[in-house]
Structure 1
Protein backbone atom coordinates (compact mmCIF):
# COMPACT_ATOMS: atom_id res chain seq x y z
CA UNK A 1 0.00 0.00 0.00
CA UNK A 2 1.11 3.55 -0.67
CA UNK A 3 1.86 6.05 2.06
CA UNK A 4 -1.46 7.87 1.60
CA UNK A 5 -3.36 4.60 1.93
CA UNK A 6 -1.38 3.70 5.05
CA UNK A 7 -2.06 7.12 6.53
CA UNK A 8 -5.77 6.75 5.89
CA UNK A 9 -5.84 3.22 7.30
CA UNK A 10 -3.99 4.17 10.49
CA UNK A 11 -5.25 7.70 11.11
CA UNK A 12 -1.78 9.25 11.13
CA UNK A 13 -0.39 11.75 8.70
CA UNK A 14 2.03 10.90 5.92
CA UNK A 15 4.50 13.23 7.64
CA UNK A 16 4.25 11.12 10.82
CA UNK A 17 4.83 7.94 8.82
CA UNK A 18 7.93 9.44 7.24
CA UNK A 19 9.14 10.50 10.68
CA UNK A 20 8.61 6.98 12.07
CA UNK A 21 10.57 5.65 9.11
CA UNK A 22 13.46 8.08 9.69
CA UNK A 23 13.52 7.14 13.39
CA UNK A 24 13.73 3.45 12.52
CA UNK A 25 10.33 2.58 13.96
CA UNK A 26 9.09 1.48 10.55
CA UNK A 27 11.12 -0.60 8.15
CA UNK A 28 12.18 1.19 4.99
CA UNK A 29 9.48 0.54 2.40
CA UNK A 30 10.18 -0.70 -1.06
CA UNK A 31 9.90 1.89 -3.82
CA UNK A 32 8.02 1.79 -7.07
CA UNK A 33 9.81 2.83 -10.25
CA UNK A 34 8.33 6.32 -9.82
CA UNK A 35 9.83 6.56 -6.31
CA UNK A 36 6.58 6.11 -4.40
CA UNK A 37 6.84 4.23 -1.13
CA UNK A 38 5.08 0.89 -0.99
CA UNK A 39 4.44 -0.56 2.47
CA UNK A 40 3.72 -4.16 3.41
CA UNK A 41 0.33 -4.92 4.90
CA UNK A 42 1.87 -5.62 8.33
CA UNK A 43 3.07 -2.03 8.67
CA UNK A 44 -0.44 -0.82 9.55
CA UNK A 45 -0.43 -3.12 12.56
CA UNK A 46 2.98 -1.81 13.59
CA UNK A 47 1.79 1.80 13.32
CA UNK A 48 -1.20 0.84 15.48
CA UNK A 49 1.17 -0.59 18.08
CA UNK A 50 3.32 2.56 18.04
CA UNK A 51 0.28 4.78 18.55
CA UNK A 52 -1.11 2.59 21.35
CA UNK A 53 2.28 2.54 23.07
CA UNK A 54 2.50 6.33 22.85
CA UNK A 55 -0.98 6.59 24.34
CA UNK A 56 0.28 4.46 27.25
CA UNK A 57 2.99 7.07 27.79
CA UNK A 58 5.95 5.28 26.22
CA UNK A 59 8.50 7.40 24.42
CA UNK A 60 9.61 6.68 20.88
CA UNK A 61 12.89 5.46 22.33
CA UNK A 62 11.00 3.04 24.61
CA UNK A 63 8.97 1.85 21.64
CA UNK A 64 12.09 1.37 19.51
CA UNK A 65 13.50 -0.86 22.26
CA UNK A 66 10.34 -2.97 22.33
CA UNK A 67 10.37 -3.31 18.54
CA UNK A 68 14.05 -4.26 18.56
CA UNK A 69 13.39 -7.04 21.06
CA UNK A 70 10.55 -8.36 18.91
CA UNK A 71 12.71 -8.20 15.78
CA UNK A 72 15.40 -10.18 17.62
CA UNK A 73 12.81 -12.91 18.16
CA UNK A 74 12.26 -12.18 21.83
CA UNK A 75 8.90 -11.64 23.49
CA UNK A 76 9.14 -8.10 24.89
CA UNK A 77 6.45 -8.62 27.54
CA UNK A 78 8.67 -8.36 30.64
CA UNK A 79 10.44 -5.32 29.18
CA UNK A 80 7.09 -3.66 28.47
CA UNK A 81 5.93 -4.54 32.00
CA UNK A 82 9.00 -2.77 33.38
CA UNK A 83 8.43 0.29 31.18
CA UNK A 84 4.77 0.53 32.18
CA UNK A 85 5.64 0.13 35.86
CA UNK A 86 8.00 3.08 35.52
CA UNK A 87 5.36 5.15 33.73
CA UNK A 88 2.82 4.38 36.44
CA UNK A 89 5.29 5.61 39.06
CA UNK A 90 5.79 8.82 37.08
CA UNK A 91 2.04 9.35 36.76
CA UNK A 92 1.51 8.82 40.48
CA UNK A 93 4.30 11.26 41.33
CA UNK A 94 2.79 13.83 38.97
CA UNK A 95 -0.64 13.31 40.57
CA UNK A 96 0.90 14.09 43.97
CA UNK A 97 2.50 17.24 42.53
CA UNK A 98 -0.84 18.31 41.09
CA UNK A 99 -2.61 17.65 44.41
CA UNK A 100 -0.05 19.89 46.18
CA UNK A 101 -0.57 22.56 43.52
CA UNK A 102 -4.34 22.28 43.92
CA UNK A 103 -4.06 22.81 47.70
CA UNK A 104 -1.80 25.81 47.16
CA UNK A 105 -4.18 27.36 44.62
CA UNK A 106 -7.18 26.83 46.89
CA UNK A 107 -5.25 28.51 49.70
CA UNK A 108 -4.33 31.47 47.50
CA UNK A 109 -7.93 31.85 46.33
CA UNK A 110 -9.16 31.72 49.92
CA UNK A 111 -6.62 34.41 50.83
CA UNK A 112 -7.63 36.44 47.79
CA UNK A 113 -11.28 36.41 48.82
CA UNK A 114 -10.44 37.85 52.24
CA UNK A 115 -7.94 40.53 51.21
CA UNK A 116 -8.70 44.18 50.84
CA UNK A 117 -6.85 45.54 47.78
CA UNK A 118 -6.41 48.82 49.62
CA UNK A 119 -3.99 47.09 52.00
CA UNK A 120 -1.58 46.17 49.21
CA UNK A 121 1.66 48.08 49.28
CA UNK A 122 3.94 48.79 46.38
CA UNK A 123 6.71 46.88 48.14
CA UNK A 124 4.89 43.59 47.74
CA UNK A 125 3.69 42.94 44.26
CA UNK A 126 0.60 41.02 45.36
CA UNK A 127 -0.46 39.62 48.75
CA UNK A 128 -2.36 36.79 47.10
CA UNK A 129 0.77 35.02 45.91
CA UNK A 130 3.06 34.50 48.86
CA UNK A 131 6.67 35.34 48.27
CA UNK A 132 9.55 33.63 50.04
CA UNK A 133 11.46 35.75 52.50
CA UNK A 134 14.88 36.92 51.31
Structure 2
Protein backbone atom coordinates (compact mmCIF):
# COMPACT_ATOMS: atom_id res chain seq x y z
CA UNK A 1 0.00 0.00 0.00
CA UNK A 2 1.07 3.57 -0.56
CA UNK A 3 1.17 6.17 2.18
CA UNK A 4 -2.16 7.76 1.23
CA UNK A 5 -3.96 4.42 1.39
CA UNK A 6 -2.48 3.59 4.79
CA UNK A 7 -3.29 7.04 6.12
CA UNK A 8 -6.89 6.81 5.01
CA UNK A 9 -7.41 3.31 6.41
CA UNK A 10 -5.74 4.20 9.74
CA UNK A 11 -7.57 7.56 9.99
CA UNK A 12 -4.34 9.58 10.26
CA UNK A 13 -2.60 12.00 7.93
CA UNK A 14 0.34 11.25 5.69
CA UNK A 15 2.24 13.90 7.64
CA UNK A 16 1.60 11.92 10.83
CA UNK A 17 2.96 8.76 9.24
CA UNK A 18 6.12 10.55 8.11
CA UNK A 19 6.54 12.03 11.59
CA UNK A 20 6.15 8.63 13.24
CA UNK A 21 8.81 7.27 10.92
CA UNK A 22 11.14 10.16 11.79
CA UNK A 23 10.87 9.48 15.55
CA UNK A 24 11.16 5.72 15.13
CA UNK A 25 7.71 4.71 16.33
CA UNK A 26 7.07 3.35 12.83
CA UNK A 27 9.80 1.47 10.98
CA UNK A 28 11.10 2.99 7.77
CA UNK A 29 9.16 1.31 4.95
CA UNK A 30 10.59 -0.38 1.93
CA UNK A 31 10.51 1.62 -1.29
CA UNK A 32 9.11 0.62 -4.62
CA UNK A 33 11.43 0.79 -7.66
CA UNK A 34 9.87 4.17 -8.44
CA UNK A 35 10.69 5.46 -4.92
CA UNK A 36 7.26 5.32 -3.31
CA UNK A 37 6.94 4.10 0.26
CA UNK A 38 5.47 0.59 0.34
CA UNK A 39 3.55 -0.40 3.45
CA UNK A 40 2.07 -3.70 4.53
CA UNK A 41 -0.80 -4.59 6.85
CA UNK A 42 1.47 -4.62 9.94
CA UNK A 43 2.01 -0.88 9.50
CA UNK A 44 -1.72 -0.35 9.39
CA UNK A 45 -2.21 -2.36 12.59
CA UNK A 46 0.62 -0.49 14.30
CA UNK A 47 -0.89 2.87 13.33
CA UNK A 48 -4.25 1.81 14.71
CA UNK A 49 -2.58 0.73 17.95
CA UNK A 50 -0.74 4.07 18.22
CA UNK A 51 -3.95 6.00 17.59
CA UNK A 52 -5.89 3.95 20.14
CA UNK A 53 -3.11 4.23 22.74
CA UNK A 54 -2.97 8.01 22.28
CA UNK A 55 -6.72 8.14 22.86
CA UNK A 56 -6.09 6.72 26.34
CA UNK A 57 -3.75 9.61 27.09
CA UNK A 58 -0.45 7.78 26.61
CA UNK A 59 2.34 9.82 25.06
CA UNK A 60 4.21 8.80 21.92
CA UNK A 61 7.29 8.08 24.05
CA UNK A 62 5.24 5.75 26.27
CA UNK A 63 3.67 4.08 23.25
CA UNK A 64 7.09 3.64 21.68
CA UNK A 65 8.35 1.97 24.86
CA UNK A 66 5.49 -0.54 24.67
CA UNK A 67 6.19 -1.24 21.01
CA UNK A 68 9.91 -1.66 21.68
CA UNK A 69 9.24 -4.25 24.37
CA UNK A 70 6.96 -6.14 22.01
CA UNK A 71 9.56 -5.83 19.26
CA UNK A 72 12.13 -7.46 21.55
CA UNK A 73 9.78 -10.38 22.09
CA UNK A 74 8.94 -9.37 25.65
CA UNK A 75 5.52 -9.06 27.16
CA UNK A 76 4.47 -5.48 27.69
CA UNK A 77 1.47 -6.02 29.97
CA UNK A 78 3.15 -5.04 33.25
CA UNK A 79 4.83 -2.02 31.66
CA UNK A 80 1.54 -0.93 30.10
CA UNK A 81 -0.21 -1.47 33.43
CA UNK A 82 2.24 0.87 35.17
CA UNK A 83 1.78 3.50 32.45
CA UNK A 84 -2.00 3.32 32.80
CA UNK A 85 -1.78 3.58 36.59
CA UNK A 86 0.41 6.66 36.27
CA UNK A 87 -2.03 8.18 33.78
CA UNK A 88 -4.90 7.62 36.23
CA UNK A 89 -2.87 9.25 39.03
CA UNK A 90 -2.18 12.28 36.83
CA UNK A 91 -5.85 12.58 35.92
CA UNK A 92 -6.78 12.44 39.61
CA UNK A 93 -4.38 15.33 40.31
CA UNK A 94 -5.86 17.32 37.42
CA UNK A 95 -9.38 16.68 38.69
CA UNK A 96 -8.38 17.90 42.16
CA UNK A 97 -6.86 21.08 40.70
CA UNK A 98 -9.90 21.70 38.52
CA UNK A 99 -12.28 21.20 41.44
CA UNK A 100 -10.24 23.70 43.45
CA UNK A 101 -10.26 26.19 40.57
CA UNK A 102 -14.02 25.75 40.17
CA UNK A 103 -14.51 26.57 43.86
CA UNK A 104 -12.37 29.68 43.53
CA UNK A 105 -14.31 30.77 40.44
CA UNK A 106 -17.62 30.24 42.19
CA UNK A 107 -16.44 32.51 45.01
CA UNK A 108 -15.52 35.16 42.44
CA UNK A 109 -18.87 34.73 40.73
CA UNK A 110 -20.71 35.17 44.03
CA UNK A 111 -18.63 38.25 44.82
CA UNK A 112 -19.39 39.63 41.35
CA UNK A 113 -23.10 38.98 41.86
CA UNK A 114 -23.00 40.99 45.12
CA UNK A 115 -20.97 43.85 43.64
CA UNK A 116 -22.76 46.99 42.57
CA UNK A 117 -21.38 48.09 39.16
CA UNK A 118 -21.81 51.70 40.27
CA UNK A 119 -19.06 51.09 42.85
CA UNK A 120 -16.58 50.19 40.09
CA UNK A 121 -14.92 53.54 39.58
CA UNK A 122 -11.24 52.63 39.09
CA UNK A 123 -10.67 52.04 35.36
CA UNK A 124 -7.45 50.10 36.08
CA UNK A 125 -8.84 47.63 38.60
CA UNK A 126 -11.70 45.23 39.06
CA UNK A 127 -12.90 45.20 42.62
CA UNK A 128 -14.19 41.62 42.28
CA UNK A 129 -10.73 40.35 41.50
CA UNK A 130 -8.97 42.98 43.60
CA UNK A 131 -10.69 41.57 46.69
CA UNK A 132 -8.81 38.31 46.03
CA UNK A 133 -5.42 39.99 46.57
CA UNK A 134 -3.50 38.33 49.34
CA UNK A 135 -5.53 35.13 49.01
CA UNK A 136 -4.64 32.04 47.01
CA UNK A 137 -5.38 32.50 43.34
CA UNK A 138 -6.89 30.12 40.83
CA UNK A 139 -4.50 27.27 40.29
CA UNK A 140 -1.86 29.32 42.11
CA UNK A 141 -1.13 31.30 38.95
CA UNK A 142 0.52 34.70 39.40
CA UNK A 143 -1.69 37.71 38.82
CA UNK A 144 -0.35 40.33 36.42
CA UNK A 145 -1.38 43.96 36.98
CA UNK A 146 -3.55 45.66 34.35
CA UNK A 147 -1.73 48.08 32.09
1:44 aligns with 2:32: no
**Per-residue deviation, 1:116:** 1.1
- TM-score normalised by the chain length of structure 2: 0.86
Distance in 1, Cα, partners of 2:124 & 2:12: 51
Distance in 1, Cα, partners of 2:123 & 2:46: 60
Distance in 1, Cα, partners of 2:127 & 2:84: 43
Distance in 2, Cα, partners of 1:123 & 1:11: 51
Partner of 2:117: 117
Distance in 1, Cα, partners of 2:87 & 2:42: 28
Q: Where in structure 1 are there 5+ consecutive unaligned residues?
A: none
1:11-22 residue pairs with structure 2 within 5 A?
11-22=11-22
Following TM superposition, the consecutive aligned residue runs of length 4 or more in structure 1 with deviations greater than 2 angstroms are 117-124
Spell out, residue by residue over 1:75-122, the C-alpha distance to the aligned partner (whole angstroms, 9 max, x if none): 100000000000000001000111011111111111101101232353
1:61-100 residue pairs with structure 2 within 5 A?
61-100=61-100
Partner of 1:132: 134
Partner of 2:54: 54
Root-mean-square deviation (CA, aligned residues, Å) is 1.5
Structure 1 range deviating more: 69-78 or 120-129: 120-129
Distance in 1, Cα, partners of 2:86 & 2:55: 15
Q: Where in structure 2 are there 5+ consecutive unaligned residues?
A: 136-147
Distance in 2, Cα, partners of 1:112 & 1:123: 16
- TM-score normalised by the chain length of structure 1: 0.94
Aligned residue pairs: how many? 133
